[in-house]
């Protein structure tokens, strides 16, 4: 176990606001976790690509750093990988591509750790974690034991799971089981991959995802950001028809439950935010759904830009945009 004091948040959040973190505790295994003092409930952090520390953080922060992969074959065609939570997600995807194991190649280049992947059920290009998840191993602060959750118990939804709700603050994910396939299973329906032939190799798809993502999204190592800042709002079909009457051409994707998902990027773009900045915080010129920190961004600038975007979109479409990113106050509570 490693305990670090008074750390710059810039090292622990890809948005890199210049706030401070009182204590960061790195745990590697079950022994470390069982020795951890959890009398004041710690905040769990992976690589901080979906987390912004708005204020200096007083709550202790715990990161799980174990990063091994254990492979076992279920039958001739399917392989189970038991992956520790501290592994970088993109590194895992790269390993599976090298091993020619199909299932997560569409999720290449998503920043962050394996442990965070089930929390918001990461997804991209028509694939989400729920599609390949066999189980999630979760250490409870209170009982100091690991419980295995099967996919049904994880309650996966759009950028959602039980770990954001009933289990929030109760413990930490230590490993994720994923099932991958030896047989070719390309998912090419999504825009960006739809020009690839059905015979594409796993490497072709992986590379196309990397090229497409890199052309649209800023690299957080060069320009600080946390990816999509707001969730895509979901409205009823009746609301969508009304909206479409007023704004013909508004894009909407019908969900299996009959509701309609509207791209938040479109709503924000229509309000003229592409490339807009508020001091050093702005909307990325190629993709206004991504808020960026040009270097010296301040919390007030971020919060006033968020409020401005929410108000404009709400006034125009009567839709409330909710942040997808975790915005934390000094006690580790969600800000908005
Ligand atoms: C440029 C960019 C592009 C992105 N594109 C996508 C995308 O296409 N699709 C997508 O879904 N997301 C995307 N994201 C968001 C981000 O990559 C994911 O949310 C990722 O899973 C966050 O991982 P992290 O380790 O950085 O999480 P953190 O920001 O550290 O934490 C996020 C949440 O997970 C929890 N958590 C982290 N580790 C654990 C653990 N071990 N146990 C329990 N809880 C834990 C935290 O408490 C927090 O609630 C993007 C982000 C960026 C910067």
Please write the tens of the pLDDT for every residue from 26-66.
999 999 999 999 888 899 999 999 999 999 999 999 999 99
Q: Which tokens sit at 251? A: 């894009």
Task: List Cα–Cα distances, 239 to 168, 247, 259, 264, 309, in angstroms.
Answer: 32, 12, 9, 16, 21
- pLDDT greater at residue 50 or residue 335: 50
Query: Span 4-25, mean pLDDT?
Result: 98
Query: Span 246-268, mean pLDDT?
Result: 93
Task: List Cα–Cα distances, 260 to 93, 233, 279, 310, 315, in angstroms.
Answer: 30, 8, 35, 19, 20
In 3D, which of 120, 69, 90 has the Cα closest to residue 228?
Answer: 120
Q: Ligand 1 centre and the CA of 246: distance in Å?
A: 36
Mutate which of 116, 214, 217, 219 for ligand 1? The one with the most ligand atoms within 8 Å of its CB, which is: 116
Query: Span 307-317, mean pLDDT?
Result: 97
Task: List Cα–Cα distances, 43 to 94, 176, 214, in angstroms.
Answer: 29, 20, 31
- Which of 310-315's residues contact partners 24+ apart within 8 Å by CB, and which partners? 312/271, 312/273, 313/267, 313/268, 313/271
Secondary structure of 235-303 as H, E, C letters: ECHHHHHHHHHHCCCCCCEECCCCCEECCHHHHHHHCCCCCCEECCEEEECCEEEEEEECCCCCHHHHH
Query: Ligand 1 within 6 A of 83 CB?
Result: no
Domains and CATH numbers, the chain: 2-64 (3.30.43.10), 69-216 (3.30.465.10), 224-328 (3.90.78.10)
Average confidence score pLDDT of the chain: 96
Q: Is the pLDDT of residue 336 over 70?
A: no
Query: Ligand 1 within 6 A of 120 CB?
Result: yes
Determine what percent of the chain is predicted with pLDDT higher than 70: 100
Query: Span 309-323, mean pLDDT?
Result: 96
CA atoms of 298 and 282, how far apart (whole Å): 11
Q: Ligand 1 centre and the CA of 62: distance in Å?
A: 15
Query: Ligand 1 within 6 A of 42 CB?
Result: no
- In terms of Cβ atoms closer than 10 Å to its own Cβ (0-12, 13-18, 19+), residue 250 is middle
Per-residue confidence (pLDDT) for residue 201, from 0 to 100: 97
Query: Ligand 1 within 6 A of 171 CB?
Result: no
Please write the tens of the pLDDT for every residue from 156-182.
998 899 999 999 999 999 999 999 999
Q: Which of 13, 84, 228, 326 is catalytic?
A: 228
CA atoms of 151 and 102, how far apart (whole Å): 19
Q: Is 127 within 8 Å of 226 (Cβ atoms)?
A: no
The pTM (predicted TM-score) of the whole model is: 0.95
Q: Is the pLDDT of residue 227 over 80?
A: yes
Per-residue confidence (pLDDT) for residue 255, from 0 to 100: 87
Query: Ligand 1 within 6 A of 323 CB?
Result: no
Mutate which of 46, 57, 219 for ligand 1? The one with the most ligand atoms within 8 Å of its CB, which is: 46
**pLDDT category of residue 105 using cuts at 50, 70 and 90:** very high
CA atoms of 68 and 207, how far apart (whole Å): 24
Please write the tens of the pLDDT for every residue from 72-81.
998 999 999 9
CA atoms of 320 and 248, how far apart (whole Å): 20
C-alpha of 97 from chain center: 21
Task: Tell me how crowded residue 208 is: count the other CB atoms within 10 A of its CB.
Answer: 20
Residue identified by tokens 């006690």 is 331
Q: Which tokens sit at 98? A: 């090298």
């Amino acid at each position: 176990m490693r305990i670090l004091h008074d750390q710059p948040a810039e090292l622990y959040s890809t948005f890199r606001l210049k706030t401070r973190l009182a204590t960061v505790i790195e745990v590697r295994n079950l022994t470390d976790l069982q020795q951890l003092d959890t009398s004041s409930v710690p905040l769990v952090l992976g690589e901080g690509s979906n987390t912004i520390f708005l204020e200096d953080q007083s709550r202790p922060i715990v990161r799980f750093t174990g990063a091994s992969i254990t492979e076992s074959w279920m039958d001739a065609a399917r392989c189970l990988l038991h992956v520790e939570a501290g592994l970088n997600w993109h590194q895992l995807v790269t390993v599976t591509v090298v091993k020619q194991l199909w299932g997560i190649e569409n999720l290449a280049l998503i920043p962050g750790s394996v442990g965070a992947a089930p929390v918001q059920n990461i997804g991209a290009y028509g694939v989400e974690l729920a599609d390949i998840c066999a189980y999630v191993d979760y250490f409870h602060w209170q009982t100091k034991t690991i419980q295995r959750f099967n996919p049904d118990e994880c309650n996966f939804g759009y950028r959602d799971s039980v770990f954001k709700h009933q289990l929030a603050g109760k413990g930490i994910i230590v490993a994720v089981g994923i099932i991958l396939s030896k047989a070719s299973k390309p998912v090419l329906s999504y825009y960006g991959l739809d020009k690839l032939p059905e015979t594409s190799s796993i490497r072709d798809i992986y590379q196309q995802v990397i090229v497409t993502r890199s052309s649209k999204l800023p690299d957080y190592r060069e320009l600080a950001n946390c990816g999509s800042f707001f969730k895509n709002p979901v409205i009823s079909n009746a609301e969508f028809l009304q909206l479409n009457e007023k704004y013909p051409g508004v894009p909407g994707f019908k969900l299996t439950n009959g509701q309609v998902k509207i791209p938040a990027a479109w709503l924000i773009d229509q309000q003229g935010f592409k490339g807009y900045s508020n001091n050093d915080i702005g909307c990325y010129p190629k993709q206004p759904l991504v808020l960026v920190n040009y270097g010296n961004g301040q919390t007030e600038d971020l919060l006033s830009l968020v409020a401005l975007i929410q108000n404009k979109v709400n006034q125009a479409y009567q839709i409330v945009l909710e942040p997808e990113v975790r915005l934390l106050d000094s006690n580790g509570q969600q800000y908005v």
